[in-house]
Structure 1
Amino acid sequence: MQDLNVRNIYDTTAPNASTGIINGESSNVLNWDDVRFSWAYPLYKHMLANFWTPFEINMASDQKQFDQLSDDEKEAFKKIIGLLAFLDSVQTDYSLRASQYLTDSSLVALMTVLSFQEVVHNQSYSYVLSSLVPKEEQDEVFEYWKTDEVLLERNEFIAKGYQAFAENPTPQTFLESIVYDVILEGLNFYSGFSFFYNLARQQKMVSTSTMINYINRDEQLHIRLFANIFQELLRENPSLDTAENRQFVTDAFHEAALLEIKWGHHILGDRIEGISMEELDQYIKFMANKRAGQLGGEPPFPGYRSNPMKWIKAYEDVNAAKSDFFEQKSRQYAKVTDANGFDEL
């Protein structure tokens, strides 16, 4: 199997614009006016425009409300935060490793911004917890992923895919790792996100949900970046554009969705007011179909074409909340109903 070459630090004999997305030639000097991919610079500007830090969000109202949550809501809140912390920790490391093999300097720049944003996301979970619970309890939350069997099973599905690439970096394992990446950023977050948006529509923990919305916007751009890289890999490397790899996309999202549904029932069950397990199952299958389609795969769950949880306050257009972000950091969520919700994420 073909090797995957680490990018040179510099090359005086190569052009600034790379000759290939992987295993190509590039001087490794970044000139945004001389890059190969027309989508790279607009995406870079969008990622920068989303810049935020957790410190901008006032947690005072959430501090008052946290003790008023039900015991089931508190448990779900903490365990989902623990899950998100694991995912973003792994994602930070994976994105840095993956960027070593990208020849194109503009894509390396995008991956650098992405890695930084993942660090900010991870810090936001610590910020939330430190605002709400004692240090000992915060430490417990960050240990959940090691002991919760359902969570561990779900996380290992992603981690093993990443590890296979890290231990044997080839164009094939790199392609497969991108599928796992889009599963992580485009599916594994979303039952957790739905929990926080459900609290927000009940006017609970609005500051935390605002932070989750900012993270959600970032993740949508990350998915776009990796989906673009995936398609460029197939275009430049026809040997990777096979029926087997297309089927791998569908099969991976099918398995990931079933694990996500199992986790959703485990952590939320029918114990959280406002979240129906039937709707959550349909929502996860809808998202799995949507993400598989972004990578050119067939839908793993035919027939699930629309979002059944129309009240979810998220945005397909990542710029939809920009004026809100800059003008009022402590955004107040209005009640969201089926009538004014969103069909698509």
Structure 2
Amino acid sequence: MQVHERNIMDKTAPNASTGIINGRSSNILNWDDVRFSWAYPKYKKMLGNFWTPFEINMSNDVKQFPELTKDEQNAFLKIIGLLALLDSIQTDYAGRVADYLTDSSLNALMIILAQQEVVHNHSYSYVLSSITTKDVQDATFDFWRTEPTLEKRNDFVIKGYRDFIENPTVDHLLTSIVHDIILEGLFFYSGFAFFYHLARNQKMVASSTMINYINRDEQLHVDLFIKIYKEILNEFPEYDTKEREAQVIEIFKEAAALEVEWAREVIGDKIDGLDYEDVEDYVYFYTNVRCNQLGYERPFEGYRKNPMKWIKAYEDVDMGKTDFFEQKSRQYVKVNVEDNGFDEL
């Protein structure tokens, strides 16, 4: 079944859409008259996560970056380069999906999501321009062009997105959302672990604070797409099949293999105090989390507990009270990460 774009205005349709896709809606946004009860609470949470890179003082990181080992510097730059690529793709994808969501509230959430991805990309530029030369910054943003391991990961995600963009069917939309959840809820996570490892050793704390903000945003984005995925299956139950479950599980297994390969390359046995085997288990754990959140069986036997529990101390910071890393009062109201379901199966 093809998915049709939302009308920019429909004078005879209700404000609350008649369906999540292929429905009717006036396209007037009235938060008290929307189809999905979870949309407005999600809107408030996403606004509550508001932040900008300018909030973070990079002065200590500027001094510390040259003091990192060569392997730490290399991993730092490679991971930043990867994150910049993925968030650039994500900004575009969110806009493409938004065009096909009938309800104006979901379109609004996608616009906020895309804006947050733009902020993420700005943060990578902000970090790199603070600690490196312009030549290094440019090379970091171009790393994806020549690195074979990254190319495989990129092709994996882009194919899932491109199938939907070129042929917008319900089946392709659902599959593209699975790839989105992998991008935002799995492909970042070995990179996050690296930055949190630096932070617990009092290295590059400002950069890790930035990663913490991004981490919290991405968790909200994952939850949003999970809700959309489930709503589509609720409205089109003929797509909720055992065949689709098997397909999704295989996609997650492939994604986990790609993430493990990447972690082996950038972390391996090169980073003192960060055990690659733990990172690999962490990837399998989150693969199980994400697949199960979609309502499917976990791809990997076991892996029910986070093997890197120390990361939770960084993920569960209530930024509304204090900045965990720099211990300073903050001006903005931050969402408590416990509300975002970290480490839950």
- The TM-score, its normalising length taken from structure 1, stands at 0.93
Match of 2:154?
Answer: 155
Name the SS of the counterpart of 1:32 in structure 2. coil
Determine whether 1:284 maps to 2:283: yes
Judged with a 3 Å threshold, the aligned counterparts in structure 2 of structure 1 residues 128 and 35 are, in CA distance, closer, same or farther, namely: same
Identity %: 61
- Kept in 2, the 8 Å contact 1:217–1:315? The answer is no
Written as runs of structure 1 = structure 2, the 5 A alignment for 1:159-178 is: 159-178=158-177
Alpha-carbon contact 1:50-1:322 (below 8 Å) kept: no
Decide whether the 8 Å contact of 1:213 with 1:314 is kept in 2: no
Question: Offset of 1:248 from its aligned partner?
Answer: 1.8
Is the counterpart of residue 209 in structure 1 residue 208 in structure 2? Answer: yes
Mapped partners of 1:268, 1:225: distance in 2: 30
Aligned to 2:321, the other structure's residue is in SS state helix
For residues 201 and 212 of structure 1, the distance between their equivalents in structure 2, rounded to whole angstroms, comes to 13
Structure-2 residue corresponding to 1:135: 134
Q: Encode CA deviations 1:144-176: one digit per residue, 9 max, x unaligned.
A: 111010111112111111111111111110000
In the alignment, what sits opposite 2:322?
Answer: 324
The amino acid of 1:290's aligned partner reads V
What is the letter of the counterpart of residue 247 of structure 1?
A
1:239 CA drift (Å): 1.4
Q: Distance in 2 between matches of 1:38 and 1:315?
A: 31
Cross-structure match for 1:248: 247
Structure 1: gaps of 5 or more residues: 331-341
Is the Cα–Cα contact under 8 Å of residues 249 and 295 in structure 1 kept in the other structure?
Answer: no
In the other structure, the counterpart of 1:306 is 305
Q: Distance in 2 between matches of 1:167 and 1:30?
A: 28
Provide, for residues 267-294 of structure 1, a one-character-per-residue CA deviation record: whole Å limited to 9, x for no partner: 1110001211111111100000000011
8 Å CA contact 2:321, 2:330 repeated in 1: no
Give distance in 2, aligned partners of 1:292 and 1:35: 28
Partner Cα distance (1:258, 1:275) in 2: 19
Which amino acid in the other structure matches residue 67 of structure 2?
Q
User: Hey, what's the Cα distance between the residues in 2 that align with 1:10 and 1:281?
Assistant: 49
Q: Aligned partners of 1:279, 1:161: CA distance in 2, in Å? A: 29
Count of residue pairs the alignment pairs up: 332
Letter in 1 for 2:280: D
Distance 1:111 1:250 in 2: 26
Task: Return the letter of the residue paired with 1:126.
Answer: S
Cα distance, 1:310 vs structure 2:
1.1
2:337 equivalent in structure 1: none
Q: Could you tell me how far 1:324 is from its partner in structure 2?
A: 2.2
Matching residue of 2:336: none
Q: Following the alignment from structure 2 to structure 1, what is the Cα–Cα distance between the partners of residues 35 and 19? A: 9
Counterpart CA distance in 1 for 2:300 and 2:146 is 31
Q: Residues of 1 paired with 2:318 and 2:130: CA distance?
A: 28
| Equivalent pair of 2:288/2:300 in contact (CA under 8 Å) | yes
- Residue 9 in structure 1 maps to residue 8 in structure 2: yes
Alignment of 1:257-268 (within 5 A): 257-268=256-267
Q: 2:120–2:214: 8 Å Cα contact kept in structure 1?
A: yes
Structure 1 residues 316 and 236: CA distance shift in structure 2, 3 A:
farther
Cα distance in 1 for residues equivalent to 2:179 and 2:343: 25
| Counterpart mapping for 1:51-130 below 5 A | 51-130=50-129
Q: Decide whether the 8 Å contact of 1:57 with 1:329 is kept in 2.
A: no
The one-character-per-residue Cα deviations of 1:95-117 (angstroms, maximum 9, x if unpaired) are 00010000011111111100000
Question: Residue type matched to 1:21 in 2?
Answer: I
The residue type equivalent to 2:122 in the other structure is Q
Task: Give the aligned CA root-mean-square deviation in angstroms.
Answer: 1.7
Q: Distance in 1 between matches of 2:259 and 2:30?
A: 41
Partner residue of 1:338?
Answer: none
Q: How far apart are residue 322 of structure 1 and its match?
A: 2.4
**Superposition pairs of residues 177-188 of structure 1, within 5 angstroms:** 177-188=176-187
Q: 1:294 matched to which residue of 2?
A: 293
Structure 1 residue identity aligned to 2:320: K
Q: 2:190: which partner in 1?
A: 191
Q: Structure 1 residues 212, 314: closer, same or farther in 2, change over 3 A?
A: farther
> TM-score, normalising length from structure 2?
0.93
Q: Is the 8 A contact 1:194 1:312 kept in 2?
A: yes
Instruction: Write out per-residue CA displacement over residues 91-144 of structure 1, whole angstroms, 9 at most, x where no aligned residue.
Output: 000000010000011111111100000000011000000001000110000111
Shift of 1:313: 4.2
Secondary structure in structure 2 of the residue aligned to 1:324: coil
Residue pair 2:12, 2:26 contacting (<8 A) in 1 also: yes
Q: Contact conserved, 1:175 with 1:230, CA < 8 A, in 2? A: yes
State the Cα distance separating 1:3 from its structure 2 match. Answer: 1.2
State the alpha-carbon separation in 2 of the partners of residues 20 and 100 from structure 1: 14
Q: CA deviation at 1:314?
A: 5.9
Structure 2 residue identity aligned to 1:321: M
